[in-house]
Amino acid sequence: MFKALFFAFVLLTLLGCESSSEREREANEESSLSYLLCDIGVDSECVNSDEEVTLFNSYGFKDGDGRWHLRLQGWIVEPSSSTLLTTLFYELITTVVGTTTSKPSFTDERIHQFIGDNKGGELLHVVLANKEYTLNPTEESGLFSEEIIIDAKALEGYVNNNTLSYRVLLPKGDSRDFSGSIYLRDDNTTMLISDIDDTIKITQVYLGLKEVIASTFLKPFMPASKMSELYKTLMIQHNTTEIAYLSGSPWQLYSLLESFIVDNGFSNGSFHLKALRLNPLSSTLYEFIEPNSTYEHKIATLTQIFEDFPNKHFILIGDSGEKDPEIYGQIHQKYPTQIEAIYIRNVTQESVANSRFLTAFGEYAKQVHLIEEKP
């Protein structure tokens, strides 16, 4: 335990020093007019050449007046591939997990998602449907989430397969492309809402922190058997292509998880992950499996989605390893007529007749579909 705290202390100190020196450098740069000018015709802060922007897949919905409410979300970070930080982070991981095996080739890439300098307080300029928008400053975590309301006519000619693309506006001479997708969803169709860990990706969260950390950093991402086939079947049966991924995994894993989903035959869709700020001296590693924060995150997100689409029907898919039965049960009590089906991947080998499922779902427990598949 002392060894883990020592590595955490050194790692946090180095991350803090790196952030401090970065702030000093930015202060000097901001005194230069050239730093303040973006290629948009006005004075404004820009995305620096050493910063990266990830635009997360999101969705849009129509209101009663026919206007689209577009959800924009993403993350600004200055990546770090520091050998020292990577080594210290790896030592912290292996100390927690207790492994002595050699480091997998993919581990460094995953670590790098967590050791960058998140860029809080930055303005982001995006181009959407040939119009420029300035978003509100990013949070301390580098994350941003914003809603743009736009008339449906303004999107004509910019939507392809119910998907609207948009991009970050960068300074003149910066040829990088940071673009994202907004899935435009009708209110009279069916949408699948799926958990990720232990539902479509084997993580074994129910085994505790060590297994979660090992699965996240030290093991290949493995798909749950036959789940992609099930999803394709459900989409055909319910005549839909819509899916949203709701998970307690942190946003730092977004790019890796999106690649995993596409590579393993799942349809792409909107993502709804959890904010996780790196602070090794607090309980950051434990936040990977902290049940209350995940529970609150999922309840809040599901409530928002159901409120955005009051006439849409949903198929909820999760697993028994965490609190998906309890979460889906609560949502079913609130929106019973909108839920077409609930599927639970039964990783804990339970019965819908046991007290847990009866407490979560009441009489509806008999209609819950259990997917009997060992992890």
Say which residue, 275 or 5, is predicted with more confidence: 275
> Which of 370, 322, 362 has its CA nearest to residue 342?
370
217-249 residue pLDDT tens: 999 999 999 999 999 999 999 999 999 999 999
Q: How far apart are CA 170 and CA 52, in angstroms?
A: 11
Is pLDDT of 3 > 70?
Answer: no
- Please report the sign of the dihedral spanned by the C-alpha atoms of residue 310, residue 306, residue 232, residue 158: positive
Give 65's DSSP letter: T
Fold of the domain built from segment(s) 190-371 = Rossmann fold (3.40.50)
Which residues lie across from 271 on neighbouring strands? 245
Phi and psi for 48 in degrees, rounded to 5?
-70, 160
Mean pLDDT of 66-74: 97
pLDDT range class, residue 101, cuts 50, 70, 90: confident
What's the pLDDT at 288? 53
Residues of the chain with CATH 2.60.40: 37-78+117-184
pLDDT range class, residue 285, cuts 50, 70, 90: low
Output the CATH code of domain 37-78+117-184: 2.60.40
pLDDT range class, residue 45, cuts 50, 70, 90: low
Tokens of residue 152, six digits = 């449906």
Q: How far is CA 69 from the centre of its chain?
A: 20
pLDDT range class, residue 83, cuts 50, 70, 90: very high
- Per-residue buried b or exposed e for 20-52, using 16+ beta carbons within 10 Å of the residue's own CB: eeeeeeeeeeeeeeeeebbebeeeebbbbeebb
328-361 residue pLDDT tens: 999 999 999 999 999 999 999 999 999 999 999 9
305-310, long-range: CB < 8 A, 24+ apart = 305/191, 305/193, 305/244, 306/331, 306/334, 306/335, 306/338, 308/59, 308/61, 308/69, 309/61, 309/185, 309/187, 309/191, 310/187, 310/338
Say which residue, 337 or 11, is predicted with more confidence: 337
Residues of the chain with CATH 3.40.50: 190-371
What's the pLDDT at 204? 94
> Which of 26, 234, 37, 357 has its CA nearest to residue 366?
357
- Please report the sign of the dihedral spanned by the C-alpha atoms of residue 136, residue 74, residue 298, residue 65: positive
> Which of 4, 50, 52, 42 has its CA nearest to residue 26?
50
Is pLDDT of 65 > 90?
Answer: yes
Say which residue, 322 or 278, is predicted with more confidence: 322
